Amino acid sequence: MSPGSYSYSPVFYFGDTDYHVDESDGYVEVKVWRTGTDLSKTASVTVRSRKTDPVSAEAGVDYMGISRNLDFAPGVSQQTFRVTILDDLGQPVLEGTETFELVLRMPMNGILGEPGKATILINDSVSDLPKVQFRDAMYMGHENSGQISVVVYRSGDISYKSTVRCYTRQGTAQVMMDFNERPNTDASIITFLPGEVEKPCVLSLVDDTEHEDEEELRLVLGSPCSESPFGASIGKQNETLVKIKDDADKAIIKFGETKFSVSEPSGVGQVSLVKIPVLRVGDTSKVSVVRVHTKDGSATSGEDYHPVSEGEKYYNISHINISQPLTSIRP
């Protein structure tokens, strides 16, 4: 190519001087342009990666180094290629922004223009930043167990000490009546030491004798801190729903015994009574109703005993007695 022809030669250059990529993205796409008045010929240019000075990102550790030709067919003005970014997913280390460079070399049927160098900036502040969140979206507990332990999970760079508040927000479950408050203060801080991945957030429950329907509250994470120079963050699962069941206080009505014995009256027309206690355990603060009725076994209703079918009410008591008359009507 004669010196005078350079002004008519196609020019190769990068689409941008800087390309930003998160370490977890896996790759970065880079564009190289070819412009000029005559793009009728096949052309090519070599793109290579290199370290910055001073060294920041390293090939084989932070990215896959490249040295490849970009071929432009007649009439083609742009080529896009990818550079693989390596993520330290197995053992995340928060490194801050790291850089390496791409340069254009050895043009064929064209010349190098500006920018002929592009800087790739790798940011790991999203993927490797210490991040805390709840393990699950919902936890279930029983009032009589005394407490519910909720798991708070930490990911990212766990080589630093981190803290986060785990505090309560009441719903149908009320503070002091159903649970002990975890306030949104430093009194509710959970601490992760270097290397720790999971920590419990313990919620204390208030156990009483009154039966209640299933109740709910929320646990919330806030105010994350870390000894890392880049701080810490909270993940998507920043809240969890806590449901409290109260099966132990549910009123249960039952007979005092499973078998009762009584002697049949000695004479015709005489009556004997047997008292059968019916017990109620659990919450006795409300009215309960139960129906009691007899059913024949070897004894026959109307011949050996008088049948019973009646409703019994309980008003804040734990037991009543049912009198069952037995009549001798046969000689």
Residue 328, CA distances (Å) to 159, 274, 287, 322, 325 in order: 87, 14, 37, 20, 10
Among 56-60, 153-157, 244-248, the range scoring the smallest mean pLDDT is 244-248
Q: What is the CATH number of the domain that holds 322?
A: 2.60.40.2030
> Considering 106, 123, 140, which residue would you say is the last residue of a domain?
123
**Tell me, what DSSP letter sits at residue 264?**
P
Same domain, 24 and 115: yes
Residue 322 has pLDDT above 60, yes or no: no
Q: What are φ and ψ of residue 100, in 5° steps?
A: -145, 170
Same domain, 9 and 117: yes
The last residue of a domain, from among 72, 93, 123: 123
> How many domains does one find in the chain?
3
Phi first, then psi: what are they for 7, rounded to 5°?
-70, -20
The whole-number pLDDT of residue 284 equals 64
Least confident of 81-85, 210-214, 249-253, 299-303: 249-253
What is the extent of the structural domain holding 145? 131-249
Helix (H, G, I), strand (E, B) or coil at 17: coil
Percentage of the chain lying above the pLDDT 70 cut = 86
- Report pLDDT digits (tens) over 148-198: 999 999 998 888 999 999 999 999 999 999 999 999 999 999 999 999 999
Are 34 and 89 in a shared domain? yes
Q: Are residues 184 and 217 in the same domain?
A: yes
Q: Does the pLDDT at position 226 exceed 50?
A: yes
Q: For residue 50, name the pLDDT band (cuts at 50, 70, 90).
A: very high
155 and 107 assigned to the same domain:
no
Q: Are residues 119 and 210 in the same domain?
A: no
Whether 91 and 35 map to the same domain: the answer is yes
CB neighbour list of residue 247: distance below 8 Å, 6 or more residues apart: 142
For residues 216 and 288, membership in a common domain is answered with no
Confidence of residue 1 (pLDDT cuts 50, 70, 90): very low
Task: Tell me which of 187, 220, 249 is where a domain ends.
Answer: 249
